[in-house]
A and B are shown apart, each in its own frame.
Chain A
Amino acid sequence: EIVLTQSPATLSLSPGERATLSCRASQSVSTYLAWYQQKPGQAPRLLIYDASNRATGVPARFSGSGSGTDFTLSIISLEPEDFAVYYCQQWSNWPPLFGGGTKVEIK
């Protein structure tokens, strides 16, 4: 199975700063990678699919990049509502595992 490693585990930033989250796959997943945002007590929300495509309604400050084994989710200027946990997920093959998550917290 393909393992996804997210780093850092926690990112402490201030509103307005740029966030850069990393997701590394144990083997190539091409661009079959998604990013989700989850806030406490809420279901996950799809942000990015196919490594770089924003889902419907996702603000342009979110962007995804990468292919193969190394992927990045960037948030160019953090808004207060962006402080949450972010997960990557691959669907190159079964099982479609998630990474362990990165918590973006207010500094």
Chain B
Amino acid sequence: EVQLVESGGGLVQPGGSLRLSCAASGFPFSSYSMNWVRQAPGKGLEFISYISSRSTTIYYADSVKGRFTVSRDNANNSLYLQMNSLRDEDTAVYYCARSYCSSGTCYAVGAYWGQGTLVTVSS
């Protein structure tokens, strides 16, 4: 069974930093690209980052580019999101999601999702 468990959320002041983690199990983590998607309270979904299986391809949404860094540790089946210079508008539930893959190619589509971790940016 595919399982994704996010952690690391919490309350942080504007300008602060936070590191989210996503522990993966139930599938060959090193074979799949991974994604971070967030959802502000009462709002829709926003795709914020994609990382390929070997970290060779990384994308960020404009809203987080230069402030957030995605990384992964295939040896430990873990995905990370380092968030710096946090703003009020970064307040959201952050989900990690395994990509949909077909014929050896993975896409920025969330085939499986974790339960999310809440990040609140407030003074």
Q: Chain A: residues with CB nearer than 8 A to chain B?
A: 32, 34, 36, 38, 42-46, 49-50, 55, 87, 89, 91, 94-101
Contacts and interface: CB of A to CB of B under 8 A. Distances in A.
B115 interface: yes
8 nearest A-B residue pairs (beta carbon)? A43-B113, A96-B108, A98-B45, A96-B47, A91-B108, A91-B107, A34-B109, A94-B59
B110 interface: yes
B111 interface: yes
Nearest to A93: B108
B116 A87 contact: no
Contact of B113 (A44, A95, A96): A44
Contacts of B108: 91, 94, 96
Interface of B: 37, 44-47, 50, 59, 61-62, 95, 100, 102, 107-116
Given A49-B109, A94-B108, A96-B109, A43 B47 contact: no
A55 B62 contact: no
A97 B50 CA distance: 13
Contacts of A101: 44-45
Contact of B59 (A36, A45, A95): A95
A50 B95 CA distance: 22
Main secondary structure on chain A at its contact with chain B?
loop
A100 B39 CA distance: 12
Nearest to A99: B44
B113 A45 contact: yes
A43 B61 contact: no
B81 to A, nearest CB: 16
A37 B44 CA distance: 12
B57 to A, nearest CB: 10
A100 B44 contact: yes
B42 to A, nearest CB: 11
A95 B61 CA distance: 6
Given A36-B110, A96-B108, A97-B47, 14 more contacts: A43-B95, A43-B116, A44-B37, A44-B45, A44-B113, A46-B109, A49-B100, A49-B109, A50-B102, A87-B44, A91-B107, A94-B108, A95-B61, A95-B62
